[in-house]
Structures are given as C-alpha cells and as structure tokens.
C-alpha cells in the first residue's frame, strides 16, 4: 500500500517515491538520447509539481513551457533563454524558508508516466503530455512579483 506524495499527490503503483522515479528517469535520459530529448520537460514538470522553483523561476518556467510546447521554440533557444533567466544571478531552486505553495489536484504526475511508459517513444509522448498538463494547471503557483 503506497502513500500519496505530500507535494504532488501521486500514488506510485510500484510503491516508489516521486524522487526515486525521477532519478530513474534522469538515469535513462543521460544514458539514452532517445529518452534524453525530453529532458527539459522532465525536470520542469518534476520541479513544478514538487515546490522546486523559486517564485521568479515559476514565472520563467511557465513562459518557457509555453514557448516550447505551444510556440515551437527549439530546445537550444530555451537553454539560451534560461541562461539569461532568473537562474543567472540567483538559484532557480526554492529556498527552504520560502512559503509553501497552494496544492493543486494535478491531472497527471510522474507516477502516471512511470505506470504507462514502455519504450522511448511512449516515454517521450507521456512526458510531453505531462508538460502540457503541468503548464495548463500551474497557474496558482505563478506569483507575479513586482
């Protein structure tokens, strides 16, 4: 019997934590370029759903996801944009003392990808689907700082 993830609400069918699944996914992506081509989305979605980003970085990643998924920006341009983004002078990660974010009933989590993927093609398709869901549902996490 697995417990739901306190951050994203996922329940892994294999009793793994989201973090364990995430590390398995990253290992796949680093060793096989067929998996690695969705790396940006994997990291973004995981961080978005686990209070991973600073407020500034939530603003940045929302626009980056929109550019990548909806406007067709190539990943090289997203990386250049990231180099100029909030990660440039401050960390992208959420500080430990930052306020908690609202809980969102995500329609898709990393556990859904893990349960349904069976090869590189299905993996990339599911990660893209996860990216679209995260972009659509992340609104309450994006605080527009002055």
Which residues make up the interface to Zn ion (CB under 5 A)?
A: 5, 7-8, 10, 18
58 vs 85 by CB, closer to Zn ion: 58
Q: Are 26 and 123 in contact (CB under 8 A)?
A: no
How far apart CA 64 and CA 40 sit, in angstroms, is 10
Q: Under DSSP, is residue 111 helix (H, G, I), strand (E, B) or coil? A: helix
Minimum Å gap between C-beta 9 and Zn ion is 7
* Nearest residue to Zn ion, scored by beta-carbon proximity: 5
Choose among 99, 65, 60: nearest CA to 82: 60
Minimum Å gap between C-beta 21 and Zn ion is 9
Q: Are 7 and 105 in contact (CB under 8 A)?
A: no
47 vs 78 by CB, closer to Zn ion: 47
16 vs 39 by CB, closer to Zn ion: 16
Minimum Å gap between C-beta 2 and Zn ion is 11
7 vs 82 by CB, closer to Zn ion: 7
């Amino acid at each position: 019997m697995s417990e739901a993830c306190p951050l994203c609400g996922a329940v892994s069918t294999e009793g793994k934590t989201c973090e364990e699944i995430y590390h398995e996914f990253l290992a796949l992506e680093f060793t096989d370029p067929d998996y690695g081509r969705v790396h940006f989305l994997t990291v973004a979605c995981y961080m978005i759903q686990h209070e991973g980003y600073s407020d500034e970085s939530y603003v940045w990643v929302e626009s980056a996801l929109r550019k990548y998924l909806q406007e067709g920006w190539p990943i090289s341009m997203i990386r250049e944009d990231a180099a100029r983004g909030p990660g440039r002078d401050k960390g992208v990660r959420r500080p430990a003392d930052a306020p908690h974010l609202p809980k969102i009933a995500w329609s898709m989590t990393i556990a859904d990808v893990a349960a349904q993927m069976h090869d590189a093609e299905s993996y990339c398709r599911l990660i893209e689907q996860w990216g679209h869901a995260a972009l659509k549902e992340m609104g309450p996490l994006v605080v527009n700082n002055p």
